[in-house]
Amino acid sequence: MWVRNAWYVAAWSHDVSHAALLPRTIINQPLVLYRKADGSVVALEDRCCHRLAPLSKGRLEQDDLRCMYHGMKFAADGRCIEIPGQDLIPPRAAVKSYPVVERGSWIWVWMGDAGLVDATLIPETIATTDAGWHIKTGYLDYAAHYQLINDNLLDLSHLSFVHEKTLGRNMPQWAGQRPQVTRLDRGVRFQRWFENRPHAHYYGREGETYDLWHSYDFLVPGIFIQRPAWYPPGTAKRMNMQPPTEPPLFVRCDDQAVIAETERTSRYFYATGARSTDATVALADEMFRFTETAFHEDKAIIEAQQKVIDLDPDQPMMSLSSDAGPNLFRGIVKQLVDAEARPPQPARVAEPVALAAAQGN
């Protein structure tokens, strides 16, 4: 169960080049990515239409891609432009071409109907090249269904337990308090103030406390965009617990994408950093390493959870009050998936009978 009409992160910008072919699997569809000579990114079906061999084992010839099984050559738009030993190229000789947008250091690929492409659905994320930020990037591969990873990011109460020694250190509030949860058009927004929280490994002084405005969006298909902002103590109350209108002391950034590959494999992309006015490159590096350690804690519990589920897939989950986010998001995904499964409706037209009556008058 996955949404097709959505932008999926296929890779970090720096992982795609004109010198190599990058194979990726997204929602069970094989893709091959590369850059043309002009730097633009191409995403084609990684499955030759002839004998279904992967084109990612083929050869880039200028901007075209040749299958190195029997030699069919495809243009960057997916059309076959050469069949060795055969003059006629049938029109159906083609592989699927996917719409691609490169933005914010991510390669976004539209996995659904080309007629529904909508670039405004791509959220703003921070590029690694943004001079205003020091950012580091990475990814982890999961042997788990993407929904379990989404659930994890939609309920940060787990920080007090899974990450009690890392991200959630000295912060029982992650589990003890509930954020305000708001439904967005294709996602969920989480907002809350943490008052008087102690310093973190990346900001603050031992013994002092801070108010932390914690806000993030989680968007279809699994994009996590978080900008925690540190304030002097008392700010939360002065703002009446509403979103802050004052400049923060420190802002960190976490951009993440949970990408379903198959029913039991997923890739988790992530970037962590801070404003370049707030942090040195060395500190941003340390923030990243610390965060990545925590992500291995998530992977351990989620892959274990997957195994328990697979032992008896009929066992139901039980919702707690902390599941507002996961439940809301699972509902949004279900709505979108159901809508995609329905046959398209014809555009509404005036009824012939009414028209005839009008003409008759």
Q: Which residue has the tokens 């959220």?
A: 123
- Pick from 96, 137, 115: which is nearest to 12 by CA? 137
Check binding of 176 to a copy of itself (CB under 8 A). Answer: yes
Going residue by residue from 275 to 314, which x/- string records binding to a copy of itself, judged by CB under 8 A?
-------------------------xx--xx-xxx-xx--
Helix (H) or strand (E) segment spanning residue 34: strand 29-35
Distance CA 184, CA 331 (A): 12
Applying CB under 8 A, does 155 fall inside the site for a copy of itself? yes
Task: Identify which range of 36-44, 123-131, 172-180, 240-248 contacts a copy of itself by CB under 8 A.
Answer: 172-180
How far apart CA 281 and CA 304 sit, in angstroms, is 35
Strand partners, 256: 224, 270
Alpha-carbon distances of 222 from 3, 104, 335, rounded to whole Å? 10, 16, 15
In 3D, which of 60, 333, 113 has the Cα closest to residue 221?
Answer: 333
Q: How far is the CB of 148 from a copy of itself (least distance, A)?
A: 8
Helices (H), the chain: 146-154, 173-176, 235-238, 281-311, 324-341, 352-360
| 172 contributes a contact to a copy of itself by CB under 8 A | yes
Closest separation in Å from C-beta 24 to a copy of itself? 12
Candidates 31, 67, 257, 332; binder of a copy of itself (CB under 8 A) is: 67
52 counts as binding a copy of itself under rule CB under 8 A: yes
Comparison of 35 and 192: residue with beta carbon closer to a copy of itself? 192
Give me the least distance between CB of 174 and a copy of itself, in Å please.
9
How far is residue 9 from each of residues 56, 107, 186, measured CA to CA in Å?
18, 6, 16
The least distance separating a copy of itself from the CB of residue 65, rounded to whole angstroms, comes to: 13
Rule CB under 8 A: is residue 322 a binding residue for a copy of itself? yes
DSSP state of 222: T
The correct pick among 24, 134, 158, 186 for binding a copy of itself (CB under 8 A) is: 158
User: Under the rule (CB under 8 A), what is the footprint of a copy of itself?
Assistant: 25, 28-30, 46-47, 49-54, 57, 66-72, 83-86, 90, 92-93, 151, 155, 157-158, 160-162, 164, 172, 175-178, 262, 300-301, 304-305, 307-309, 311-312, 315, 317-322
